[in-house]
Structure formats: C-alpha cells, structure tokens
C-alpha cells in the first residue's frame, strides 16, 4: 500500500451541467470533482483549500469508516470545524477496504451545490474480487436545481416554508439535458418520464452537457459502478435490453442476482455486471428515472455504445421505462433480494446489547416545518461533537440522553395531533464494542395519507440490514423474522413509507458519528441523530479540526494560563 497526495481547491465556477448555465461548486475547476482511485490499505492525503469567497467547507468520504481518524470524516459540527475561506485542512486517512464509494460536501447543503466526486477502491494487490469483468465504468448519479443552494436553504427555514421542489435535471457524471432530449423521437404516452421538451439534442460530444457515452465491445462483461449523490431523488437505473447482475452494495459483496433495473437511493452505491450480448449493430439507452416521489424531472440518459458504431448513433429502441414512482412493493422486492455473499463478509452478532427505536416524523418547531427523531429535531452545535465530548465541554451541546423510543400509543397512520417539536443537539452515547440495534420507524407526515421515503446513512460503520416491515415495529414479532443468516452489510438503508427498517452494528470505532437521512433537505430540516463511542480513546485530533466554538476558547484559555 502507498500514500497518495492530492492538492484540492474548492471553488464556485460557471458551468452548464444540464445545458443551462449556473454556479457549481467544483474542485480544481472540475465538476464533478476529480475521481480518486486507490487500493485497499492506501493512505489518502488530501490538502483541501477553501477558495469559496464567503462560506466554510468540509468533505465527507462516504463509505470510508475512518478507523483511528474520526476527525477526517468531514462532517461539519460533528467531526470537525468548517474550513474557512483561504484556509487549508488536511484529510489524511486510510481506505480500509475495496469498494465503490464517493465523497461530498457535508456543510449546509453543499452537496446540492455540486460538491461531490467518485472514490473507487480496488482490492489490495494479490487479492481477487469474487467476480470477473473485462472493463468498468463509474456512474455518479445526482439531481440538479436551477435555484441556488442558498435560496434553497433560506426557503427551507422561512415562514411561510418554501419547499425546494423536484429537481430540474438528473445528472450522470455531472451531465444532463434540460433544454433538449436525445430521445425525443421516443416520447411514449404513459411513460412516467417528462422526457422530451420536444427538441432533439444535437451533440458533437464536447459540450459540457453532452452525456458521457459508454463505449463497449460485443460479448464482454463490464462492471458498472453506480453511486447516488442525489439530494432528493430516489432513482431507478436500467440499460435497455440488458440484464444487470448485482454484485456489490455500499462497498460490500452481495450474493449475485440478475435484474432488469435497480432502485438506488441517495447515499447508496452498487456494482452491477453487464454482458454485451445484444445485437452489436445497435446502441442502447442507459437511463435513470425518479422513483418514490411523484416525478417532474426528465429521465437522465446516456448511451451504451457498441463499438464500432458511432457514439451518438441513435438507438433504435426507446429508453427503458422507469417503473411507476409509487410502486413501493416493487422496490421492496428489490431490497429483499440483497444478501451478503457467503464467506466474503462477517456475520452479525446473534444478539444486541441495546435497541434504539427512532421515530421519523414531520413536525413544526415554533411554526416552522421540520423533521424530528423521537420528537427532537437535530440542530448542529457550533462546536464539533468530537472535540466537545473528548474535552468534556458541558455546555457545547445538550448533554441529556435522547429518547430510546417513542410513545406506545403514537398513531403512525395519522398526522400528529400536536405537531410541536423541539430543536436539540443530544447525543446517543454507545458503549465501545457493544452491539446496537436501531429501528427506523416511519410514520405519517404533516399531510393526511403522506409518508415519505428516507434513506438513512451511518458514518463510521457498516451495518447489517436485519429486516424491513410494514406499520409499527413490534419487537417480539419482528425479531423472529430478522435475517441473521446472510443480512447485507451496508452503510445506507431505506425506510419505506409507513414501514420500519432494522439495522445492527458494532460500535467499534471511537469517535462521534452522524446518522441521518441522506435527503439533503431533510437533514437540513433536522432529520438526523449523533452517535458517539469511545471518544476518550481518541488521540491526536489535529488542532485545525477543533479551532472553533468552545474547543477554540478552551485552547485559548489554556494558553493564557501558561
């Protein structure tokens, strides 16, 4: 293994990701940011300089567990202070295992501004993947708004509330088409795409918003690495006429299974194998369309280009039709197909030491629309938890333990009778090396008959997905059906409308870790919690990570004493 050095500057730039010009947050002038390619065991050394004019910044390495370097997790207010304009922070950490990952901004809604990129970790030299392929492509999926993130942030915390709405475009590797479609000849009545805006795109290939074409040879197998950095959209990914064999989920091997399409939620990654066994005289559409919310966004499209056809040769067959957005049973069937690959991933402990049930509700706090977990809406403190817990700074956050569950008589199927909730900053303290079960319980939102999808992401750990269920989680009943045989290891798991999702993990990574809905607007509205374990064991927090808030004052006070 080796150490790879990067010098990155984060800054805004004028770009046209979907053929409409706007501001993107890029790295070294690139959008999406540069792809990092490493080998398991490598150390990454990223010197990140903030070239934004008036905002702080941090970058989270989504999927990397940060063993021994919790301060490099890149979560503002949790693992570090935001990096100020003009300042540089060094992220130095080990990529602990192979897999498809990504990185993204984790301060305010900077992921929505376009701060993201791919992070691909190959197996260490001498190791082998449990499958073969001839070539690969990485497809980083995202959604894009024409409204600035600042406008979005202010809208979400204004009265009256202003929702961000559905994205204008979906992007594949930062490219989408808002003003035209290159499948306009196929606009099918009844397909849930709003594809088309009529005009056929005429691309030469060098345009910023021209799709990145995937050139392939016939009768080969390709690995497609998919990662969803979307802010809001749940996506369905498909390649016309081709089967996809799922082999990896969130950086963990799964029992291979073939599908025609797959659902991917924000924060998830997959690898699928695709065999080019179709008529080689044609090109084929690759699509990603909205699921889980009533769509108002055109499918993202690109082309699987069988060589030697010209890259933009129009495919004779229409793009795949995205399954109906509210066919949740279909999504659940897909979730249930995912099993760990025998022999290639650890099994869960048979018992847990603690069970935390987290009720997800939409609430109001002083009239403002928020999301709450067990009736507390997360407001991140000014001092990062890692420092305030380590140095026992009592007033930096609310030290009371947050609730372990919610009221037994709570009606999950109705809007709350009393939607008033409170803002809070409490922390779930986990005993180091204990086994923790978390049940994410969904409920009705503020409107009648509305319950939304929430993909929850855990920092610092992988977890086993033990089961999904409908309605109220009843431990005695549900636990009998937990999958303890081959549950998939993941770092993001979806919670379906009116349902629950149960996960298990071992709290074996000293640090403070965010656990939250990966929908950017939901996290911004309070949909998250913080876990902390073994923080007293954390040694060597770099000064720059804690040079803000109460930890900064503490350091100044101790200097005065000298």
Nearest distance from residue 171's CB to ligand C2O, in Å?
Answer: 17
* 65 lies in the binding site for ligand C2O (CB under 6 A): no
Residue with Cβ nearer ligand C2O (267 or 320): 267
Tokens (6 digits) for 349: 């402990």
Question: DSSP labels for 180-194?
Answer: -BTTGGG--TT-S--
* 62 lies in the binding site for ligand C2O (CB under 6 A): yes
Nearest distance from residue 74's CB to ligand C2O, in Å?
Answer: 9
Nearest distance from residue 465's CB to ligand C2O, in Å?
Answer: 17
Partner from Cu ion, ligand C2O, none binding residue 490, C-beta < 5-8 Å depending on class: none
* Rounded-to-integer distance, Cα 109 and Cα 521, Å: 7
Tokens (6 digits) for 527: 């949909």
* Rounded-to-integer distance, Cα 33 and Cα 18, Å: 17
Instruction: Single out the residue of 27, 517, 521, 529 in contact with Cu ion (rule: CB under 5 A).
Output: 517
Q: Are 467 and 335 in contact (CB under 8 A)?
A: no
Site for ligand C2O in 243-272 (CB under 6 A): 267
Q: What is the total count of residues that contact ligand C2O (CB under 6 A)?
A: 11
Local structure of residue 34 (DSSP, 8 states): P
Cis bond upstream, residue 32 (ω within 30): yes
Residue with Cβ nearer Cu ion (357 or 554): 357
Q: What is the total count of residues that contact Cu ion (CB under 5 A)?
A: 4
Query: Which residues, listed in sequence order, are joined to residue 489 by a DSSP beta bridge?
Result: 464
Site for ligand C2O in 376-415 (CB under 6 A): none
Buried b (16+ CB within 10 A) or exposed e, 536-551: eebeebeebbbbbbbb
Nearest distance from residue 478's CB to ligand C2O, in Å?
Answer: 27
Residue with Cβ nearer ligand C2O (265 or 397): 265
Q: Judge residue 126's burial from the number of C-beta atoms within 10 Å of its C-beta, 0-12 exposed, 13-18 middle, 19 or more buried.
A: exposed
Per-residue mark of binding to ligand C2O, 101-130 (x: CB under 6 A) = ---x-x------------------------
Q: Judge residue 477's burial from the number of C-beta atoms within 10 Å of its C-beta, 0-12 exposed, 13-18 middle, 19 or more buried.
A: exposed
Rounding to the nearest 10 degrees, give the CA dihedral for residues 457, 460, 462, 465.
-40
C-beta pairs of 160-165 under 8 Å, 24+ apart in sequence: 161/368, 161/369, 163/521, 164/231, 164/232, 164/521, 165/296
* Nearest residue to ligand C2O on Cβ basis: 62
Nearest distance from residue 124's CB to ligand C2O, in Å?
Answer: 25
Residue with Cβ nearer Cu ion (339 or 454): 454
* 426 lies in the binding site for ligand C2O (CB under 6 A): no
Nearest distance from residue 274's CB to ligand C2O, in Å?
Answer: 26
Partner from Cu ion, ligand C2O, none binding residue 15, C-beta < 5-8 Å depending on class: none
* Rounded-to-integer distance, Cα 448 and Cα 458, Å: 30
Per-residue mark of binding to ligand C2O, 510-539 (x: CB under 6 A) = ----x-x-x---------------------
Instruction: Single out the residue of 175, 457, 522, 524 in contact with Cu ion (rule: CB under 5 A).
Output: 522
Instruction: Single out the residue of 15, 60, 94, 175 in contact with ligand C2O (rule: CB under 6 A).
Output: 60
Partner from Cu ion, ligand C2O, none binding residue 522, C-beta < 5-8 Å depending on class: Cu ion
- Alpha-helical segments (H) within 108-170: 149-156
Residue with Cβ nearer ligand C2O (70 or 319): 70
Partner from ligand C2O, Cu ion, none binding residue 457, C-beta < 5-8 Å depending on class: ligand C2O
Nearest distance from residue 67's CB to ligand C2O, in Å?
Answer: 17
* Rounded-to-integer distance, Cα 271 and Cα 248, Å: 5
* Rounded-to-integer distance, Cα 20 and Cα 14, Å: 10
Site for Cu ion in 433-462 (CB under 5 A): 454
Residue with Cβ nearer ligand C2O (111 or 223): 111
The residues, any chain, with a CB within 8 Å of residue 508's CB and separated by 6 or more, are 432, 433, 461, 533
Per-residue mark of binding to ligand C2O, 447-466 (x: CB under 6 A) = ----------x-x-------
Sheet holding 422-424, edge to edge: 422-424, 376-378, 368-373, 354-365, 435-441, 499-506, 463-470, 489-490
Site for Cu ion in 9-38 (CB under 5 A): none
Residue with Cβ nearer ligand C2O (77 or 352): 77
Nearest distance from residue 228's CB to ligand C2O, in Å?
Answer: 10
Query: What helix, strand, coil percent values describe the chain, rounded to 5?
Result: 10, 40, 50
What are φ and ψ of residue 556, in 5° steps? Answer: -65, -40
Backbone Cα Rg of the chain:
23
**Which segment (113-121, 163-171, 496-504, 516-524) binds Cu ion by CB under 5 A?**
516-524
Q: Which residues bind Cu ion (CB under 5 A)?
A: 454, 517, 519, 522
Q: Which residues bind ligand C2O (CB under 6 A)?
A: 60, 62, 75, 104, 106, 267, 457, 459, 514, 516, 518
């Amino acid at each position: 293994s080796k150490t790879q050095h990067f010098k990155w500057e984060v800054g805004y730039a004028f770009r046209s990701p979907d053929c409409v010009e706007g501001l993107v947050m890029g790295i070294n002038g690139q959008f999406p940011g540069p792809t990092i390619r490493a080998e398991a065991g490598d150390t990454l050394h990223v010197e990140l300089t903030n070239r934004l004019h008036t905002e702080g910044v941090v970058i989270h390495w989504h999927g990397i567990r940060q063993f021994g370097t919790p301060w490099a997790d890149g979560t503002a207010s949790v693992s570090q202070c935001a990096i100020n304009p003009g300042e540089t922070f060094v992220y130095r950490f080990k990529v602990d295992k192979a897999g498809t990952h990504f990185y993204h901004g984790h301060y305010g809604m900077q992921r929505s501004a376009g701060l993201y990129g791919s992070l691909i970790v190959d197996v260490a030299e001498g190791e082998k993947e449990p499958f073969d392929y001839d070539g690969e492509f990485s497809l980083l999926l995202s959604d894009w708004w024409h409204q600035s993130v600042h406008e979005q942030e202010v809208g979400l915390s204004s009265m009256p509330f202003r929702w961000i709405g559905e994205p204008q475009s979906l992007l594949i590797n930062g490219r989408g088409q808002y003003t035209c479609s290159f499948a306009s000849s196929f606009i099918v009545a009844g397909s849930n795409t709003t594809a088309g805006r009529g005009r056929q795109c005429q691309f030469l290939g060098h345009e910023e918003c021209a799709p990145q074409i995937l050139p392939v040879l016939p009768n080969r197998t390709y690995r497609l690495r998919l990662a969803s950095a979307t802010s809001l959209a749940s996506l369905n990914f498909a390649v016309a006429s081709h089967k996809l064999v799922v082999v990896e989920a969130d950086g963990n091997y799964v029992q291979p299974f073939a599908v025609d399409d797959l659902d991917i939620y924000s924060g998830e990654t997959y690898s699928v194998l695709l065999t080019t066994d179709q008529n080689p005289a044609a090109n084929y559409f690759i699509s990603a369309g909205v699921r889980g919310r009533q769509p108002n966004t055109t499918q993202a499209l690109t082309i699987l280009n069988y060589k030697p056809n010209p890259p933009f040769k129009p495919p004779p067959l229409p793009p795949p039709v995205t399954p109906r957005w509210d066919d949740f049973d279909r999504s659940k069937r897909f979730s249930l197909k995912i099993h760990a690959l025998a022999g290639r991933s650890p099994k869960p402990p048979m018992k847990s030491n603690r069970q935390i049930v987290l009720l997800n509700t939409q609430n109001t706090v002083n009239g403002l629309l928020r999301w709450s977990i067990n009736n507390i809406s997360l407001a991140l403190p000014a001092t990062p938890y890692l420092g305030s817990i380590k140095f026992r700074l009592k007033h930096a956050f609310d030290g009371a333990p947050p609730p372990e569950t919610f009221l037994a008589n709570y009606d999950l199927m109705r809007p709350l009778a009393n939607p008033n909730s409170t803002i809070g900053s409490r922390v779930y303290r986990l005993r180091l090396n204990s086994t923790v079960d978390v049940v994410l319980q969904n409920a009705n939102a503020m409107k009648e008959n509305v319950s939304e999808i929430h993909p929850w992401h855990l920092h610092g750990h992988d977890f086993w997905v033990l089961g999904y269920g409908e309605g109220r989680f009843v431990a005695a009943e549900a636990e009998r059906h937990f999958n303890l045989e081959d549950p998939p290891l993941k770092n993001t798991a979806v919670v379906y409308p009116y349902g629950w999702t149960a996960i298990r993990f071992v709290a074996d990574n000293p640090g403070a870790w965010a656990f939250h809905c990966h929908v950017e607007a939901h996290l911004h509205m309070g949909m998250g919690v913080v876990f902390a374990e073994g923080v007293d064991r954390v040694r060597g927090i770099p000064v720059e990570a804690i040079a803000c808030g109460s930890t900064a004052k503490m350091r100044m006070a101790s200097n005065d004493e000298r």
